[in-house]
Chains A and B, each alone.
Chain A
Amino acid sequence: MTESIQDIITEFILEEFMDGEGELDPDEDLFEEGILDSMSFMRLLEFFEVRFDVRVPMADITMDRFNTIYRAVAHLRSQGATV
């Protein structure tokens, strides 16, 4: 079965920023929960660009587009992200 964009993002965040432990609610605020800070956020954006072949220019970035997994998925889809 093909992984979805949401699965891929969730796995990346869990592995890279949560040491592979715990669970992620796709609707929880990643900044408020302390999962993402400035560095990990920049890293996540770079991952989006490489993994989903999209551009995420600074002018397009607002935290409310990326503060939850659901919102990140919606924005990436709107930018033509492909798995």
Chain B
Amino acid sequence: MDFSWSAEARQRHRAARDLGRRISADIDARDRAAVFSIDAWDALGEAGLLGCFVPLELGGQGLSLLDTVYVHEGLARGCDDGGLLLGAHAHMFGCLPPLLAGCSDDQKARWLPRLASGDDICALAMSEAGAGSDAFSLSTAATQDGDHYVIQGEKVWTTNGPRADWILVFARTGDGSAMQALSAFMVPGDAQGLVRHPDVPRLGLRTCDVGPVSFDGVRVPVGDRVGAEGAGAQLFLTAMEWERIGIMTAALGSMDRLLTDSVRHVRKPRGDRAPLKSHQAVTHRLADLRRDLEASRLLLYQAAWKVTDGRRAAVDAALSKLTSSEAHFTAALTALRSFGAAGLVEGSGVERALRDATCGLIYSGTSDIQRSLVARMMGA
């Protein structure tokens, strides 16, 4: 594999980085107020950054996943709004792959163009309060009633849930093994019986709306089922493989920014005292940060390359997610140690990076879930 980029790819990367800087200039105020920016979302949509790998004929950019992650790494390098990136990535990497894999041509023509442009926002509703580490242990059920399904249940931690135009929900449609008894449905955000609960106040990534979604007898036409009845598990596995790869581009961009800022900071003159870089303990931490960034980058590129090449990437995606999220958290701590007390101050960017990075250890499968997945895939 060759991870050198074409001139065109580098141009896309730079353009996304520059856009990211522009749309996140007001992040400190919005983070304090926990406000999502629809203007920033629209700017991502207009730049084609919400449908990179969607085919051209469906309104996307027609890029491979490998080219997509490079663009989004650039976006994240410039964009300091981790919440916005979480929402964008849950929408694009979590929702669009299962739709592309499972929808009929008519369904694709109906849903994908507005999702690829960002005109419609999508949320993936899978997690349930009682499921624990087994994502497939669902109690939400969809029962067929004539030419409709009736969905009953509640999902938690639904990224984009409070404002989504469409919710891609997974529900049981039969008894027996979850591998053959789950199905996926596209539910409009204004469906009768659907309750989108408010954003849950939380530690980090506060500029993204995340909350529970309840389905109280929501009627969905059979024609809005995604894929065959019973195909939900495979579609969810598709979603997780792509999401775990794509979502960590935000960690790469943030780590790169933290490293640059930290190096700049430790080189600063300090009056009569030697700059911080004269202390080996400080510079060794930055060398470790660079090592972790490069390792995370290569694992992520390798996973994206495998998907692009049509190979299995479940282990690669889990290793990438585990490595990048843990490295991001360590990088934020390293930056805080480099900046000292100044990094604790609101508006410094460092304390927000640490809060945001902490969330990365949890979402899209915790670090321990990723470890368990890798271990089981090795037969251990």
Q: Which residues of chain A have a CB within 8 Å of any CB of chain B?
A: 16, 31-32, 34, 36-43, 45-46, 49, 55-59, 61-63, 67
Contact = CB atoms under 8 A, between A and B. Distances in A.
B179 A37 contact: yes
A38 B178 contact: yes
B136 A58 contact: no
Interface in B291-316: 309-312, 314-315
B230 A42 contact: no
B107 interface: no
Contacts of B315: 46
Contact of B176 (A32, A38, A43): A32
User: What bracket does the count of chain B residues touching chain A fall in?
Assistant: 20 to 34
Contacts of A42: 237, 312, 314, 377
B98 to A, nearest CB: 9
A49 B311 contact: yes
Interface in B131-145: 135-136
B376 A39 contact: yes
Contacts of A43: 376-377, 379
19 contacts: A31-B176, A31-B177, A31-B179, A34-B177, A37-B177, A37-B178, A37-B179, A38-B136, A38-B178, A39-B376, A42-B237, A43-B377, A45-B312, A46-B314, A49-B312, A58-B101, A58-B237, A62-B231, A63-B180
B145 to A, nearest CB: 24
A63 B230 contact: yes
Contacts of B177: 31-32, 34, 36-37
B310 A63 contact: no
B6 to A, nearest CB: 24
Contacts of B230: 63
A53 B236 CA distance: 25
Given A31-B176, A42-B237, A55-B309, 6 more contacts: A34-B177, A39-B373, A49-B311, A55-B310, A58-B238, A58-B241
Nearest to B318: A42
Interface in B167-198: 176-180
Contacts of B238: 58
A17 B18 CA distance: 50
B116 to A, nearest CB: 18
A40 B238 CA distance: 15
- Which of A38, A39, A49 has the most CB atoms of chain B within a 10 A radius of its CB? A38
